[in-house]
Amino acid sequence: MNAAQPPTVAPQPRRILIVRLSALGDVVMASGLIPALQARYPQAELHWVCEAACVPLLRHNPRLASVIVWPRQEWQALLRARRYLALWRAIGAFRARLRALRFDLVLDCQGLLKSALIAWLTGAPRRVGIIAREGGRWLVHEVVTPVAGADPVMGSEYRHLARYLGAPQGSFRPDLAVGDEPRSRAREALAQEAAGTPSAPQPLTAVAALAPFTTRPQKHWVDEHWRDLCQRLIARGLRPVILGGPSDQEAALRLVAGLPGVVSLAGKLRLDESAALIADAQLLIGVDTGLTHMGSALGVPTVALFGSTCPYRQGPTPRTRVLYDALPCSPCRRRPTCGGAYTCMRGLTVDRVMPVALGLLQGAP
């Protein structure tokens, strides 16, 4: 507990704010708090504050009263320009907006100083944080610290918070909503790209979404494995569709070069459109990235390839399988010791991945 204890608060809050600013995968995993909080506090309005990049994951959810954008880039630009008075006014305006909503309960689900600061700016009478690093514990009233490794299932720390708040057993489950317009745009984009792609030797009647890209090379799978995987999926009548952001376009084109039937939509879909395409897919295979976590959250049969990281060992449902070898050097996270060999990811061969993927497609446990 923090030294600053909360005053007496109402047992049934009217408005609750979830503070999870980034990253995409963690926003996906924290989304399970939405149904959990609804079950615990059925009369409360739920709001969320996040960075602009994460807004598309949340804005279609009818169970959120609002999604508030933290203007991080604006604040950083003012700081770099040394426009301190303008920065102070911007922070003041953001504080006023938060306080106008009169939150009764605020959850800092990021556990960093920046997220705790936003929780503090609300002035809420009860502020609860997870782990609370970087001095954030002094800006919240209560700190919840999950036991590391005690829960192997996706979103364990957020589920621990839900239990701490008294949410009913089983009420925590990922809650991503897919909008009608993003779904239509995703289907149209796929149809257009598929029409301009060399035909496969046989009809491709289903979609296998692939998520090969992330921010760190030690989390990537081997390019040759992806190409081999694509060929095997096509032989099974599945159309591989490469997903990713604008910075992944060049790498995606290298992956699909010379492979008839493979479509790259990397950089061609917005985030909510990518979520919609994943929701339509029959299978998803990906590395440790937000798109892979979205497959698990949406209940799509998902094979998650982990090596230098292992954010969870089980998905929220049996439709997710995690492939991970607990090597002596794993997980190295941001400090690889293999000199670029990335043995942990190379060891996940296509011969290991394909049987797992086909088992999920056939409904095997």
Q: What is the DSSP letter of 70?
A: P
Report d(CA 274, CA 245) in Å as an integer: 10
Report d(CA 339, CA 8) in Å as an integer: 55
- Residue 93, pLDDT score: 97
Kindly report, as residue ranges, where domains of CATH 3.40.50.2000 are found in the chain: 15-164, 180-361
- Residue 1, pLDDT score: 44
Pick 15-164's CATH classification: 3.20.20.70, 3.40.50.2000, 3.40.980.10, 3.30.43.10.
3.40.50.2000
> Count of CB atoms within 10 A of residue 164's CB?
14
Question: How far apart, in Å, are the Cα atoms of 85 and each of 70, 117, 250?
Answer: 19, 19, 42
* Angle between the N-to-C axes of helices 113-121 and 84-100, in degrees from 0 to 180, rounded to the nearest 10: 60
**265 in Cβ contact with 242 (< 8 Å):** yes
Report d(CA 82, CA 36) in Å as an integer: 42
As a CATH number, domain 180-361 is: 3.40.50.2000
Report d(CA 27, CA 110) in Å as an integer: 10
Sheet with 15-19, side-by-side order of all strands: 66-69, 45-50, 15-19, 105-108, 126-130, 142-144
Q: Which string of b and e fits 222-246 if b means at least 16 CB within 10 Å?
A: eeebbbbbbebbbeeebbbbbbbbe
Identify the CA nearest to 87 among candidates 100, 73, 108, 102.
73
Report d(CA 1, CA 156) in Å as an integer: 21
Question: Which residue in this structure is represented by tokens 């995993």?
Answer: 29
Burial class (CB in 10 A: 0-12, 13-18, 19+), 90: middle
How far separated are the first and last CA of the chain, in Å rounded? 41
Give the DSSP letter string of 34-62: HHHHHHHSTT-EEEEEE-GGGHHHHTT-T
Mean pLDDT in each 10-residue stretch from start to end of the chain (365 residues)? 50 94 94 98 97 96 98 96 97 98 97 96 97 89 88 92 96 96 97 89 91 90 95 95 95 92 96 97 96 96 92 90 89 81 89 96 75
- Residue 218, pLDDT score: 86
